[in-house]
Structure 1
Amino acid sequence: MQAGSPVSKSFQCTIITPEASVFDGEVTYARFPAWDGQYGMMAGLSPLLSSLAPGGLRLDEASGSRWFLVEGGFAHVVGERLTILAEAVTPAEELDVAEAEAAFAELRSAQPTEDMDMEELNRQRQIARDRVHLARRNAGFTTGV
């Protein structure tokens, strides 16, 4: 290897939901939404335990970037391993723009009910907004919600 040539160091990343293991592989970069902002991770990780906020999770692999919608959970880093324990995860390629936009429009006009208080309604609106954003990104749109 030549001096000064870039080294692509990777680390292990696993995404798990209550239903399944969604991803398990080597990544060179991960970015995920936490309750106190966005976290970016590269090899040489420091230990971490963080609560996840709903939003977009980006994983950079040798073949390119992959995006997922996470709906809350926890991120845990120990050694050279990032584990995402999520309530729900949807790969961006499974999101449909029209469906996401329709669900977001419905939630924007929704009112709190006995089954869904204002806090949960706002959380669902945020997830729906993020779903639209990721669906549009994956479909090649350049404008936001």
Structure 2
Amino acid sequence: MFLEIITPDENVFAGEVDHATFPGSEGSFQVLNDHAAMVSSLGTGDLKIVSTHNKKTEEIHMAIDGGVVEILNNKVLVLAEHIEK
């Protein structure tokens, strides 16, 4: 699935990922390929991205401070207030 993370200041991330775990405002949740369409508010916490390229798995962690996430047709769009890489 394709993940794009945007803040008011910059485009933070864009690329294919295996799955991502988000800090929802009511608790964390994970998004996998073919996830049902949804929109959710995000709280403060750890955003974890996992992707595999050439049989090598990479895990990226970012601290996120609120925002929203939209999931539709294997595209995940995160509009974040602030992110620390």
Fold-level match, TM-score > 0.5? yes
Higher helix share: 1
1:66-124 deviation line (CA, Å, top 9, x unaligned): 00000000011011111110001111xxxxxxxxxxxxxxxxxxxxxxxxxxxxxxxxx
Name the one with the larger strand percent: 2
Match status 1:79 vs 2:73: yes
- When the two structures are aligned, how many residues end up with a matched partner? 81
Output the TM-score relative to the length of structure 2.
Answer: 0.92
**RMSD of aligned alpha carbons:** 0.7
- Give the distance between the partners of 2:73 and 2:50, measured in 1 at CA: 19
Alignment gaps of 5+ in structure 1: 1-10, 92-145
Q: Which runs of 4+ in 1 moved over 3 A?
A: none
What fraction of aligned residue pairs are identical, expressed as a percent?
A: 28
TM-score computed with the length of structure 1 as normaliser: 0.55
After superposition, the C-alpha distances for 1:43-78 in whole angstroms (9 at most, x for unaligned) are 011111101001000000114100000000001101
Q: Which has the larger radius of gyration?
A: 1
